[in-house]
Chains A and B, each alone.
Chain A
């Protein structure tokens, strides 16, 4: 007997499977009533060992819109892990009550440990600074809906490219589609790690690295913004000097393409000026909505509901 299918890393899915999830999500958006009862009688457990309200709400809304139920906890303090229970034990117990589990954990690799022991599908809902595959699926669905394709794009990533796990996963996922050009915009201190560049070189993908967002703005089809956090810098002066260069303002968008799509995994703090949200090119709230639809498609796939 084969075990259940899990989603731990975005690369667990083939590009064809990702295309299938995107097609499913688009169909859900077009015909929500057809999906309203597909998971009737099924339960999703959200095991959030670390709080992340928006990710949890997105999973819960997804399951409710499929007609299913949700159980779980939103903080390790309220769970048995605060009494020292292992991840494998927790998951074996919860699997007795739930048909599928979405797990967020502060330790990297925890969802993988869960998947090794679980008789029901595990979805990694974020493990420390490591993976967050449903965010990447959300980003891919957003690009697809905004652009109608996942190939032939110039994609700019701006801000903290060193620690930004959403950036690393999206780069890996996009590197499997043809004719993607990457523009990596960050301060020297926060450039992408060398192993990401190694992947791009191995696959012969075109990329440029720059510190100047304004200079590359006219080339971009997609601009993926991330936050430059104060704690990443050794001193306050450096941070204050640099942070303004990586804040997106209407002024910096003057030279951008008219059909540029601006993405952000949210929450945004100050890296995008509030006034930019009124620009039709800002898709981050549409992106948050897409997160629910792609999670619905994923739950159906892992539960093998046709």
Chain B
């Protein structure tokens, strides 16, 4: 895999500098079979510095997770060397099984098999609340 150009794959661009490893972790990219390149601290006109993640295969990514971690990033889908799709992400309405509730009094701390679910309650300020106890994420 060359870093500059991929024939088929995904380029996650405009990741705020320093966030790429966290995204790598949450998207579980350590478990995929294709090559993954992480570019850190790339000079960007828009952001000053940014991170980029490149994958040499078109995988089914969890866009809710990505939208939550880096709502301003851009996802380019590349096929035969051409960008066939450019996705602009936004904060997802719900986060299912992505983050855990931090409230020690929340039912999620004791109920077995209960999925942590958060709801976007304030888009302007990016505030998510646990659907069970309503604590902030």
Contact = CB atoms under 8 A, between A and B. Distances in A.
B132 to A, nearest CB: 3
A86 B114 CA distance: 10
Interface string A87-127: 11000000000000000011111101100000000000001
B114 A108 contact: no
B134 A86 contact: no
20 contacts: A86-B112, A87-B111, A107-B105, A107-B106, A108-B103, A108-B105, A108-B106, A108-B107, A108-B133, A109-B106, A109-B131, A109-B132, A109-B133, A110-B132, A112-B107, A113-B107, A113-B114, A113-B132, A129-B105, A130-B134
B105 A87 contact: no
Given A110-B107, A127-B107, 16 more contacts: A86-B112, A86-B114, A87-B111, A105-B107, A107-B105, A107-B110, A108-B106, A108-B133, A109-B107, A109-B130, A109-B131, A109-B132, A109-B134, A112-B131, A113-B107, A130-B134
Nearest to A128: B105
Interface residues of B, number: 17
Interface string B114-137: 100000000000000011111100
**Range of interface residues on A (Cβ < 8 Å):** 10 to 19
Contacts of A129: 105
B54 to A, nearest CB: 40
Nearest to A85: B112
- The secondary structure that dominates the B interface is loop
Please list the 10 inter-chain residue pairs (A to B) with the smallest Cβ-Cβ separation, ordered nearest first. A109-B132, A108-B133, A109-B107, A107-B107, A109-B133, A110-B107, A128-B105, A108-B105, A86-B112, A86-B111
A112 B105 CA distance: 14
Contacts of A128: 105, 133
Contacts, number: 49
B113 interface: yes
A121 B111 CA distance: 20
B109 A107 contact: yes
B74 interface: no
Contacts of B133: 108-109, 128, 130
Contacts of B108: 109
B50 to A, nearest CB: 33
A105 B132 CA distance: 13
A115 to B, nearest CB: 11
A86 B111 CA distance: 6
A127 B103 CA distance: 13
Contacts of B107: 87, 105, 107-110, 112-113, 127
